[in-house]
Structure formats: C-alpha cells, structure tokens
Amino acid sequence: MTMRRIALPSAAWLGVLQAFVPSQSGFGLETASRLVALATVFGTITAMIYHLGEKHQAVANARDNVTKRIERIERGLEAIDHVLTMIREWQVKVERRLRRLETGE
C-alpha cells in the first residue's frame, strides 16, 4: 500500500481527532505526537479497509464474468446437443428408407 493512499485518510482522521482535544489545554508536543500517531493508525486502517473493498469488488466482477461465460458455453453445448439429436433422428429415417428399398417394400 502506498503512502499516498494512507496520507489523505490520516489527515482526515487528524482533523477529527483534533476536535476531541480541549482547547484550553493547548497543543503540546506530546499531545500533537499522540494525535499524529493515532491519526496515522486510523488512516492506515481506513486505507486497508478501502483496499480490501476494492479487492472484493474485483473478485465479484471476475466471478460474474466467469458465470456469464459458463452460461454462454452451456447454451452452445445445448445447441450442439440439439443438432446431434436432429442428425440421429435423420440417420434413423435414412436407415429405415434404405432397408425398405433393399427389401423392396
């Protein structure tokens, strides 16, 4: 995961966390460093969850594409089966006619 993906959520979390710091106490170095560290952790978690959502969507799209291709293949196989059935029926008819011709019926 790149730093760019983490920077924006971390900055947003820093803004949110600043709202919870009482304004009377002011910002000391310790408070500022804790806020930045906490914002970085929350930002990283946020970016990881977003990245996981992207991966989940990619897998769902791939699954849908595979399902569509399988359905298309199944339709093609059904059409081939139908044609083979018609050929078998035609073959039976031709064989009957040949037998009739051979026997003179």
| DSSP of 18-76 | HTTS-TTT---HHHHHHHHHHHHHHHHHHHHHHHHHHHHHHHHHHHHHHHHHHHHHHHH
How far does CA 31 lie from the centroid of its chain? Answer: 42
- Overall average pLDDT of the 68-85 stretch: 97
DSSP 105: -
pLDDT of residue 47: 93
pLDDT of residue 26: 62
Contacts of 80 (CB under 8 A, 6+ apart): none
For 87-96, write each residue's pLDDT tens digit: 999 999 999 9
CA–CA dist 2, 5 (Å, integer): 6
pLDDT of residue 15: 86
1 pLDDT above the threshold of 70? no
Phi, psi of 28 (to 5 degrees): -95, 170
For 29-42, write each residue's pLDDT tens digit: 778 888 899 999 99
Best-predicted range by mean pLDDT (32-36, 46-50, 73-77): 73-77
52 pLDDT above the threshold of 80? yes
CA–CA dist 99, 105 (Å, integer): 9
56 pLDDT above the threshold of 90? yes
* Structural Rg of the chain based on CA atoms: 35
